[in-house]
């Protein structure tokens, strides 16, 4: 560009300042994404050699800029994941303490089902809770579960919990129910889907509820939603792969 507005740009030196005779504008592009623009002013017109050099330099600058942006995003994501993980660890600690107390209650035959119910009320605001029979018929679910999975209690009460799952997740839950109805406890990280099909991940615990005769009467599901942490982990993996690819390109 040789027709430059008078006050658009000044070239400064120890001898003073002056307006450029020509202006070279080069976009910073990396993998079809425009990251920025470089403007170069000259006291003479840019020749082909100067333009070629500037274009080559812009490719290296674009790669470096893209890498720097990824580093910043990674650092932000790592910090976010660290905070979420810390929150999750605290939630997990509280859940394990509450479940240990609940199991201790059930181990003592003097503790009735009513005592267990009172403990569940205390856990109601922090955990997703679902109760169903040993055959999988849903009896109750707390607000936290219903809100997370986008159901109303009227929609799912009386239905078999297996029917709420996608086909690929059903066999896993059938095995869990079989294990828990035998009096065992089960903990794992599990995938579930909302009413609309949105994927959710939970740190889950399945607990048997014994009657006064020591027979498993119902099954309780306790869960902590870890979907955001799972999503961040996937983003970090993806960005790590992208950074590795960019580093390889810079080496060439």
pLDDT 10s digits, 47-57: 888 878 888 88
C-alpha–C-alpha distance, residues 26 and 72, integer Å: 24
Question: Taking all residues of the chain, what is their mean pLDDT, rounded to a whole number?
Answer: 80
Structure letter (DSSP) for residue 165: S
Higher pLDDT, 19 or 177: 177
CATH of 85-230, one of 3.10.350.10, 3.30.420.140, 3.30.450.20, 3.40.1350.10: 3.30.450.20
* Cα distance between residue 177 and residue 174, in whole Å: 5
Q: Please check the confidence at residue 87 and state whether its pLDDT lies above 90.
A: no
Within 10 angstroms of residue 136's Cβ, the number of other Cβ atoms is 17
Supply the DSSP symbol for 88.
H
> Mean pLDDT, to the nearest integer, of 116-121?
63
Q: Taking 70 as the threshold, does the pLDDT of residue 165 lie above it? A: yes
| Strands of the chain, DSSP E | 11-13, 16-18, 22-30, 33-42, 128-133, 138-141, 186-193, 199-210, 216-225
Q: What percentage of the chain carries pLDDT values higher than 90?
A: 27
pLDDT tens digit sequence for 168-218: 899 999 999 999 999 899 988 889 999 999 999 998 889 888 887 888 899
Q: Which residues pair with 137 in a beta bridge?
A: 160
Do 65 and 210 contact (CB within 8 A), yes or no?
Answer: no
Contact 166, 195 (CB under 8 A): no
- Domain segments of the chain as ranges: 1-46, 85-230
Phi and psi at 218, nearest 5°, equal: -140, 175
Mean pLDDT is highest, among 7-11, 20-24, 102-106, for 20-24
């Amino acid at each position: 560009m040789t027709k430059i507005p008078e006050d658009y740009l000044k070239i400064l030196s120890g001898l003073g300042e002056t307006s450029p005779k020509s202006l070279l504008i080069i976009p910073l592009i990396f993998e079809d994404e425009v990251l920025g623009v470089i403007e170069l002013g000259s006291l003479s017109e840019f020749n082909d050699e100067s333009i070629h050099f500037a274009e080559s330099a812009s490719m290296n600058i674009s790669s470096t800029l893209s890498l720097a942006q990824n580093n910043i995003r990674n650092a932000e994501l790592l910090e976010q994941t660290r905070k979420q993980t810390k929150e999750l660890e605290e939630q997990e600690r509280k859940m394990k303490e509450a479940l240990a107390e609940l199991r201790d209650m059930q181990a003592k035959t003097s503790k009735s089902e009513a005592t267990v119910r009172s403990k569940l009320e205390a856990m109601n605001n922090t955990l997703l809770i679902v109760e169903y029979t040993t055959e999988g018929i849903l009896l109750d679910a707390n607000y936290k579960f219903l809100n997370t999975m986008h159901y109303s209690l009227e929609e799912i009460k009386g239905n078999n919990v297996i029917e709420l799952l996608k086909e690929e997740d059903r066999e896993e839950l059938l095995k869990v129910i079989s294990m828990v109805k035998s009096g065992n406890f089960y903990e794992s990280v599990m995938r579930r889907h909302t009413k609309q099909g949105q994927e959710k991940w939970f740190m889950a615990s399945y607990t048997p509820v014994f009657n006064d005769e020591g027979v498993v009467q119902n099954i309780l599901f306790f869960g902590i939603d870890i979907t955001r942490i799972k999503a961040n982990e996937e983003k970090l993996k993806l960005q790590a792969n992208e950074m590795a690819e960019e580093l390889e390109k810079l080496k060439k």
